[in-house]
Amino acid sequence: MPKKTTNGPESTFAGLGLDPRLVEALSALGYEEPTPIQREAIPPLLAGRDLIGQAATGTGKTAAFTLPLLHRIDRLGPDRPRPSALILVPTRELATQVAEAVHRYGRRLGTSVVPIYGGQSYGPQLRTLGRGVDVVVATPGRALDHIRRKTLNLADLATIVLDEADEMLDMGFAEDIDAILSETPSQRQTLLFSATLPPRIAAIARKHLRDPIKIKIGGEHLPAAAPPRVRQRAYIVSRTHKLAALGRVLDVEAPASVIVFCRRRTEVDELTEALASRGYRAEALHGGMTQDQRARVMKKFRSGGVDLLVATDVAARGLDIEHLSHVVNFDVPAEVESYVHRIGRVGRAGREGVAITLAEPREHRQLREIERATRQKIEVAQIPTVADLQARRLELTTADLREILLAGGLDPFRVVVESLAEEYDPVEIALAAVKLAHDYTVGDGDDQEIPDTTPPPERQKSASHRPGGSSPRHGSDPQPKAPRPRPGSTTQILIAAGRLAGIRPHDLVGAITNEAGIDGRQIGSIEIADRYALVELDASVADQAIAALRRSRLKGKKVSVRAAPDHRR
């Protein structure tokens, strides 16, 4: 597929043909220009075409299908069917995120949305569905449950979206998806998005989509354009702790000058204000500023009056900044090209530069896509601890003291030292002076440890954790185990039901992710014997999983669930 240029009408949201109210909403939210998948997907979706989109998390695919969906729903008029659209997602976390996006984008259109997923009380869901809602965002199991209860009617549905289809199939939802699609009209618009397109996804597409447009984003290989002297590192951190992680990384790295990139200009303003409140000399740079405002910011940055620039890609285009030591991606860039261009701003003229990316757990796969496309390794590191920070602060204090000693001019202070030396040991006087300098420099902040969400090393999945994988037909030995991820951080839970009760790996994965709200990447190996099952989990979520599974049912029955004896690592 030929690559589209970004200087035509399609380089703006208005140029894509979206309703002006949607364009206004995007502008208010700080989006400056469409990502590649949005540029390619929105026009055919507005025209009513079916679509297969291959794109990873973070490429902007949610907006790529949500914006045209909202545009088309509004065109159906006030008497439109409710629901008009159903978006199927693998987890309740994603259901909430997508529903929030629909609400933000569609607020000016008056579009209503509800997320429905396992673990929620049925009462609020039933009331909302009974009143009528434009868009339903659901996990497959709960959607099918409502269909069977006759509380979700899809007879007049205009659009259905299968988001992260490969993950839904990995979790064993293939039969549920087929059952749901069979309840929808044959003339509906169908959209399928998936990070990978294995044969089983292709089979679904052949069966349920009509002459679909095919779009692939992020799979192409780029020249290895990143400067060889740029050290690339990523930290995996939840959004809740991302600001704290950025501060920690900046304190430990102590960069001479740095640009922090954000996706949206509202994020730029919010992050700049948050950093300024923490004592950083930070300035914003984005497309909502006038040229004079941008010029003043850049003058301050180049003169050293600002240590840290927070910018969008649009605003930073064409900037040539000498002696830039660090680039930080506050989010994983939506395009591989953006990543390459960003990190190419450091490490120039033979100097070493550092490129740091703060990625949420769901964006880990996108980092791997960037590695494959650029053919360069991105080190995934653990966020510096409080001890690391304290050690680094002492290093900086030591460096400051060395500079003062080398600079000389200390004689005016000799009288203080000589006076104190009559009462105290000279070493103790020096220690007190160092403490005074150190405390004055770094303050006495209440540093907290930031939760480590670094994923385990990639491993082969065993047959026991692979839907459709083979399992022993006789005996009570558990199925083969996959190697344990990151020893020291995992534990196992024991479920008192196994093969004889019809329990399969995807039953357990689906229950844990949907009922307990746990990310599938926090689940390790699964062993299923005749009368019990063992599931390996990140130790931090084991109690959460046990509590949720005790409240729910497996194969229609309550089962005993507890921590496995002698398996806590």
* Position 81 pLDDT exceeds 70: yes
Structure token pair of residue 407:
């600079």
The span from the CA of 408 to the CA of 401, in Å, is 11
pLDDT for the residue numbered 386: 82
* Other CB atoms within 10 Å distance of the CB of residue 452: 16
- Check: CB of residue 453 under 8 Å from CB of residue 521: no
pLDDT for the residue numbered 168: 87
| Closest to 188 (Cα-Cα) out of 76, 20, 43, 42 | 76
Q: Is 173 exposed, middle or buried (0-12, 13-18, 19+ CB in 10 A)?
A: buried
* Position 158 pLDDT exceeds 90: yes
Classify domain 467-563 at the CATH superfamily level: RRM (RNA recognition motif) domain (3.30.70.330)
Region 67-87: what's the mean pLDDT? 95
With a threshold of 0.95, does the pTM exceed it? Answer: no
Fold match flag (230-384 vs 467-563): no
Structure token pair of residue 410:
């200390």
pLDDT band at residue 496, thresholds of 50, 70 and 90?
confident
The listed range with the strongest mean pLDDT (125-134, 508-517, 543-552) is 125-134
pLDDT digits (tens, 9 = 90+) for 230-254: 889 999 998 888 998 998 999 888 8
pLDDT for the residue numbered 152: 95
Fold of 230-384: Rossmann fold (3.40.50)
* Position 3 pLDDT exceeds 60: no
pLDDT digits (tens, 9 = 90+) for 462-489: 333 333 333 333 333 333 343 334 434 6
Domain boundaries, the chain: 9-216, 230-384, 392-442, 467-563
- Bridge partners (DSSP) of residue 213 are 51
Region 140-164: what's the mean pLDDT? 94
Region 257-274: what's the mean pLDDT? 90
pLDDT for the residue numbered 476: 35
Is 9-216 assigned to CATH 3.40.50.300? Answer: yes
Q: Report the percent of the chain where pLDDT is more than 70.
A: 85
Region 430-441: what's the mean pLDDT? 80
